[in-house]
Structure 1
Amino acid sequence: MKPLFPALLLCVSLTALAQKKLALIVAIGNYMPNSNIPPIASLNDVKYIKAVLHNNGFLEKNIDTLKDSKATKAAILKALDAMAAKAKKGDIVVIHFSCHGQQIRDQKTVEEGKDEEDGYDEALIPYDVKKPQYYPGVYTGENHLRDDDLGPKLIAIRNSLGKNGSLLVLLDACHSGTATRAMEFTASRGEPIPFNDPENPLEANVLLPADDHFFDNLSDSASNMVVISGSGPHQQNFQTEISIAGKKEQVGALTYAFYKAMNDLPAESDYELLFQKIKAQIQSQHPEQIPLIEGNSSQVVFSGNYKPKKETIFLTAVVEANSSTDTVFRIDKGIMDGISEGTTLRIYNVGNTNPIAEGVIKRSDRFTAYGISNKSLGKGTAYEARLDEISNGTISTSIKIKINKNDAHGTLLGDQLKSFLQPYKFITFSDNADMMLDLSNRIEKGIDADLVDGIDSTRWKKLIGMNDSLTTDDAKEILAALKNSMRVKYLRTMQDGGELAKYIKATIVPANPHNDKKELILETEENYSLKMDNTGDDKLFYTVLDITPDNEVEVLYPSAMKNPADYSVGKKATVIRSLRVSKNTPVGREFLKIIVSKDPMDLRSVLQHSTQRSEMRSFQLALDDLFNDSNDEHATRGDISSIKAEEVGIATVSFSVKQK
């Protein structure tokens, strides 16, 4: 989404010789006569996608293309099966869809594939969709290509590619939106009205099982899959008009942004950098359109290799409609990430090492921040920011270092840690601290160092040899654990409220009747449901954080590798999620924080989520160097009063855990 050559030269690896680059392009611009599905410029996309593929080692004989009448549902599924059969371990596969998309009523039962809490599957519209709406006796939705249909095919391809392979899926289609917008502005891709089935009416209360997704049910050696969508399922995906040699033509917004970004992408870049360039390009033309990425974006583009994970703060210029530049910028991080009002930073073109401007944060909300740059920033350009001050705003933590009296080695280690942490203003040293680094456990081989929190849970542990010192990696791991402690404390004490809180009501419903009068007590492995009621007139997107008694934090929803736009509660509707207390949860108080917003919000980048508690990664931000001062001119736009404040609502539910 690859055959073996004999090893001709010992200096060339067999893997490199064997690897093939394969592609499938599906482009549907003209639909069946009398289908009432409007034509779009999908066929124009093909030359742009092929140009990128050819420039990156994809041979024409390895690129399959299905256009218009050739791109029926059966033909697309057959081509995906053929790709799974053709792909070999370590190969690179790209699958590109340029067509209409539409939401379609979810299956009637869980057994048939009912899995969408808004009641709709996302679907692509193949050529042989006869009508975009339910038409008794003519068409009832059987040829829509649902995400449920695509899932097993993509899993098969990933299993064929193996862990050293790579699958990139590009979706230049959309699945919903408003009809008026589609008519008034640039042509868009997608049927704006969902495909409803009168025999399967929409339910007000949606009860769903645990998440299952096409990122799941894989072999242990399956390849990574990166999916880049032109827009969220709740949005229109607009086409872009470009001019070539004086002639104008329409092309898919994602397709053209992908083409432009790839032509400007440094060698050995990962998918995260590619996506940021795509996002900037799309939003320069359609600022309300939000492209999305899923999968492990640290993988190198068109490669099975990965780049080391690092925390990057991406920055977007907030440019007014009639302008191409501005000095106001937005960062999709806020107080939770240590970005506070007054924080200063340097601004870079992504992937570059020389700063182009300086900035200062003027307002910081929980999850977003706005600031002013001292130089104009361009619309359609991707930027990254590096903080000058290593600060976490109003969030802080403290640490105690325990050392045996007259222990020179322990004292040396303690001094090393203090020196490393000294630039971080949010960390203080105290005898009455949030965490303790215990360097008092001396054994024959050295010091058995433990970092423990206030409930005596170990957060970091290492045997440090007699003549060894703390390494830079040791110090960074300790710093990550301190930040984890700090953020958990912030989340636990984060007050309910916000502009949208009045519209959301959250309730925990045990699977079995309880007689608890004062507080709800659940046993480990006990089933329960989280019920969320939306009393407002707008769809709300939600994030659910699980804060366990041992101070672990997990993002329950959005689930791992799933799209945040898939998690919503419709207006005047209810969603019920089935959950279970983990077998390994210790005794104590467990909190669920429900955060709702009018647009999808992904906190997984903040929380470094992993679905398995035993494998959860710590919070970590890279240590930035201080930069030289510059003498750039002052900002030309000095206020952000026109920027709308963050609209969120926060609700908390909790229960006590006891052992089964």
Structure 2
Amino acid sequence: MKNTIYIILFALLSFTVHAEKYAVIVAVGDYPEASGWADISSVNDVELIEGALLHQGFSKQNIMTIINEQGTRDGIINALNSIKSKLAAGDILVVHFSMHGQQVFDDNGDELDSLDESLVPHNAFAAYSDSYQGENHLRDDDLGNIIKGLRNQLGTTGQLFMILDSCHSGSSTRGSISRGGKGALVPPNWSENKEVKNSGSDMMENVSLSDAAAPFVIISGARAKEQNFEYEGYGSLSYAFAKAMNTLGTDFTYRQLFNKITAVMATIAPKQQPVIEGDIDYKLFKGEYVQQQPFYTVKKVVNAKSISINAGTIQLFNPGTTVHILPAGTSKFDEKLSLAHGEVSRTLFNESRVLLDKELPDRIAQNYIVFVDQLSYGDISLNVFIDETVENQVKSGVETFLKDKNIGQLTTTATDAQVIVNTQNGYYILQGVAGGDPLNVDDKNPGAESIEELNENLFNYAQGSYLRNLEMKNPTYEFSFRLVPVEYDESFEEVGEVLEFSKFTDDSGAFQISDDGTRAVLEVTNHSNKDLYFSIVEIYNDGKILPFMPNANCDFTDGERLIPRKSTQVITGCAYEFAPPYERIVLKAFASTSPINLTPILTKKTTRAVMNPLESFVKDTYTQTRGGGGSRSNDRQLKGYTTEFVYEIIKK
């Protein structure tokens, strides 16, 4: 009897251990000319997504890629059915779509606005005609039934995670590549129900499930009525997902992953709002994910003193980063085992070339692993396109300013830029390449009146973008935080009970707080084994950076911002009230083992105190005037951690 129990337990444990991770990546970008669809860079997304998943323990043989002409409607459905046949209860499945999206007429009466959302396969056409009525589009109804089958197959112990880097909006935007951008595919004389509003993706369908269906999460690149834009030849969501997956901390949920994605997209596509739906508070990959690691694998030994490694800008590598090469199988860094020391000479998204100080014993890549010595954080660099409506004198003034400050350069095309300068009502306007409202215009400021003011706007935007993107992820100093809504007694100015967080998130999963006097406080968590000091700034879409904790109204001392190791604190001594602008704002936290206060730097107040290295680092972003292409290196003193929380201020 005892042996029988052991055999059963062994079988159960073996089943749990051998649960598999699968993925399907669909990338359609080269559409037939007759389809009416413009080509997009979807295929570039494959390397980002595949690289991120391989790093998470997905095996190459379990990742199916469907590219261009393979991605017909039937081809996509057959691929998903094929992967379904391999799934067992408890497995994890990731499905990623990079392609055009479009709204199409509702063919079964289940949509309040009379429009289905759909993905655009390779053999789908953009316009309704006598010969085409949308039969090759992949509608949300179709997707809903496919999802149902996959969830039922995976069971309650499995997970299904879907990523949609497409959009369904009918508007178009100048100066960038959009995924979608066509009007709805509808019959003649069709009319839309315009009263219906939805801040979600509209891709979540209500379908009947078994009681044993798997949890399901879907992240979309944009809301139902928004455009989804590309960034430097990659889908903005694909880029943000890959970057977020390389900065995972402890106990990550899908909601926390989404917060990371939102923070990245606030910089690269500030007017585009990603959406998360489903079981978002489940642990990412059932908690079986790989946290950011201090070592990487070698892709190729180019020659005895040069290697190519599987890490690039997505993994926070920049030229100037230094590394040690150790024998494969080394579990912990030991400088005595170092075979060579090297410096990164150039980087791509997922790859870097490293020049070594000595020759390696052989040219077999699998024999080596790479440990980071010192990271280089790069310099502020802003690509600016000047519209033809701007005078040559102003263009020349901007070019000189960028060169003198060493913070960027002008581009000859809008698609190569991060920001566009044009004129509006006699003022100089900054416009994101993904369109949307001007970045330097609000109720009080109609834009820049002079070259000097325009240059200041450009500097603020460049610096804000740099700090938003800045990642310091030493696991030794891991730290996280969020805003939590609270009851507040105005008469006694006292904080009451913490309110339910989920009631302050919208359909897209974003934390929202209104300007009606609702208060929130900070909840901070120190995940590390060291006591940590922290400081938080807020970064707006136009790049403006203001102190958040401490600030003039919440002037907490260093000691009051010290969080003991392995603890969480709700800081009730400072209750925040919110006012316009009505936009998504990034809160960026810096944590360190020594006191840190960024307020004097941001308010440009002088201080005689000795600065924390992190403070000095941020201060340097205000005075970048070096010539050449130097990089901000992480010297031995610069030890810390950065993390973000994104929230949105809405009207009452």
The two structures have a TM-score, normalised by structure 2, of: 0.48
The two structures have a TM-score, normalised by structure 1, of: 0.48
